Chain A
Amino acid sequence: MDFNLSEDHEILSNTLRRFLSDNTSVEGRNESAFDAPYHSPDLWMALCELGIAGAFVSEDQGGFGGSAQDIAVIFEELGGALCVEPALGTLMAARLLAEAGREDIVEQLIAGEARAALAVYEPELACALTPMATVAAEQGGGWVLTGRKSAIYGAPGARYLVVAAKTGAGIGLFLLEDPQIIAAAMADGGGIGELVLDNTPAERLSDIAGPELEQALDLGRIALCAEAVGAMSSLVDMTVDYLNQRKQFGKALSSFQALQHRVVDMQMELEQCRSILISAVAHYGTPEAPRHVSMAKNLVGRAGRKIAEDSIQLHGGIGMTWEYPGTHFAKRLVMIDHQLGDQSDHLMRIMSGTAA
């Protein structure tokens, strides 16, 4: 048994951590996170130069990484620094494009020359792939798509969209270039989009992509859980620091046992999340993966809310202000639960026993 990171992962994690701490701040993040394009293109380019998009796909598909552990290491660092760059959409789209043999596009993604996002969920679809309403039909030798896609993370500014739609054979994947989207900021910052399709011509990537799609989504879920673990860890540290420094009734808040116990509970939840994430990473690629990924997403959803709420509470009024960086970590933790299926959806998947 060995729970240490490999030397390569240690280096990856340290490099990224140093880069993010030298080059980013929560204030800087917030300046770009709420207005189009909802991130900093310069920072994204710098991250790509550092190789993070390359680490999303395997060597035989043109990248230089691609394991679930690579993804977890990267996203934990992104979460720890509250980085709002569109890594999630790029990750899932890059995986599916690589599967479909579109190395020409994957190359652009790795180099940071273009971005891509994945359009799978719909107004009435939050975590499952059925019943999908968006349909693909053959028309004049090509394909057209009709329906509505929502919750497309990283869509604003993406040149490519990978779109899931129902075909006669199952669920297929299609490619849209320079899509027209409805763009918005997320409540915690970052870009999200919706897409209205009305006989919109698209290029077919594959007819039956159900399993690949589920795998890409599960990897996205692992990424979100790792991001949450990074954010939790930062937020617990900030809470400890604040309680040490803030004085009321003539002594540091950290001297009140009632508050110490609350922080201990936060730390306990964080340790549990780390563990369930390790389990999800270890099972990725096995038939057991969906169940373990759902366990991770469920636990991270519950613990994320608790840590977010307790950290706000223990900071008092300061924890409610926009100016305080911890506030934004707390918001991120709560909103992660809304992405790629929430704690209830994943609880259902665990209970159904199939989770596939």
Chain B
Amino acid sequence: MDLEFSADELAFRVSVRAFLTENLPEDIAGKVRASKELTREDYLRWQAILNAQGWLAATWEQEYGGPGWNAVQRHIFAEECALSGAPRMPPFGLAMLGPVLIKYGTEEQKQTLLPRILEGTDWWCQGFSEPGAGSDLASLKARAERDGDDYIVNGQKTWTTLGQYANKIFCLVRTSATAKPQGGISFLLVDLDTPGVEMRPIRLIDGGHEVNEVFFTDARVPVSNLVGEENQGWAIAKYLLTHERTNIAGVGFSMMDMARYRKLAAGITRDGRPLAEHPVFAARAAEIETDLEALRITNLRMLAAAQGGSAGGMGSSILKLKGTQVRQEIQDLYRSALGPHAAPLASDLSENELSVPVEAARAAPAYFLNRKQSIFGGSNEIQRNIVAKEMFRE
């Protein structure tokens, strides 16, 4: 048994850390630490810096512009990024569509679309969910009917994350009615400025605008925008959703959030004692850190298994479940630490006149928004169903 990384892996970590120290813009890291919304420009600025270094598309093969990392290196990179306060890059182009195109795309699609993802010319969003098709994604109704060299697309997608920043959307659409609903689904790329495509904002629990709904009314999409074969969409979607799982536990984010909590607790006094010395808070923080340390090791165990080629099964579901539980628990701890000061909404965070620490002013809204962690990416109930199926199968 050896819990340590190899000398090479440690050297890699040092180089990543040095790069981040040198290149991560402080204004962007500050926003991330304060749970503030990032602008499109913030993302693109950081994206360009990573791209110049060749570290942007961590999961892509080298010939398409990926860094050629193995799973351990990807893990170290993701963890260091999270710890430093680097933004979590939206996964839609980089972690989802990219690998799909590399595996299923035509040569032409790879040549034109992959570079545009790296350069930030295209910002993709994900059009899978519909009002009637959430956990039961296969029941989706948006349909694409063949008309010469085009598909005519009708229907509605929803919960489209950061669609307001995007110019393109990859969709699952129904192309034929089969007995098994999974059978008639195709994977289609759509320009958002196509006539007949309309996006509307959805306001979320924290008052912010992060997701959208997208309506398709007789939108004409060239057949050349199909990825893979017609009616092969379900297999592609499954590949997309299971492709990158090393960072699913979000251990790095939890470590950063815990450090942020420690810092806050050390600076706050409540009823005559530093919060860090409050017995209830001290006990809770110690328990969460214990869970987090166990999770860190669980994550490494899964990672080692993946390196050894024996990964899969319920492992990633367990990482998603526990990972989101720990992250949400830390969000709760952080909000609770503020006591009465979590209540007021500071209108201008940078110079609010309230006695809430500026960097913590979004603690309550961020806690509420992060309830999403256990809903999207396959809800925690669905993850439990997956594990149960595996444990109880005949």
Contacts and interface: CB of A to CB of B under 8 A. Distances in A.
B357 to A, nearest CB: 10
Interface in B362-394: 364-365, 367-369, 371-372, 374-376, 379-381, 384-385
A184 B346 contact: yes
Contacts of B342: 187, 335, 338
A150 interface: yes
Interface in A237-280: 247-250, 256, 258-259
Contacts of A247: 132
Contact of A317 (B134, B139, B365, B369): B134
B271 A126 contact: yes
A214 interface: no
B271 A345 contact: yes
Nearest to A247: B132
A31 interface: no
A130 B354 contact: no
A309 interface: yes
- Name, among A124, A249, A309, A339, the residue most crowded by chain B CB atoms within 10 Å (CB to CB): A124
Given A151-B340, A305-B332, A348-B279, A187 B271 contact: no
A67 interface: no
B61 to A, nearest CB: 34
Interface stretch (A78-86, A227-235, A319-327): A319-327
Contacts of B328: 309
B272 interface: yes
Contacts of A197: none
A259 B270 CA distance: 39
A186 B343 contact: yes
28 contacts: A34-B345, A123-B355, A126-B339, A131-B272, A151-B340, A182-B353, A184-B345, A186-B343, A186-B344, A187-B343, A187-B345, A187-B364, A248-B135, A249-B139, A250-B136, A312-B205, A312-B371, A317-B158, A317-B211, A320-B371, A321-B205, A322-B203, A323-B202, A335-B342, A338-B340, A344-B281, A344-B336, A345-B271
Interface of A: 34, 121, 123-128, 130-131, 148, 150-151, 182, 184-188, 192, 194, 247-250, 256, 258-259, 305, 309, 312-313, 316-317, 319-323, 327, 330-331, 334-335, 337-339, 342, 344-345, 347-348
Given A248-B134, A309-B371, A312-B375, 15 more contacts: A124-B270, A148-B355, A151-B341, A184-B346, A185-B344, A248-B139, A250-B139, A317-B134, A317-B159, A317-B376, A331-B205, A334-B367, A339-B340, A342-B336, A347-B280
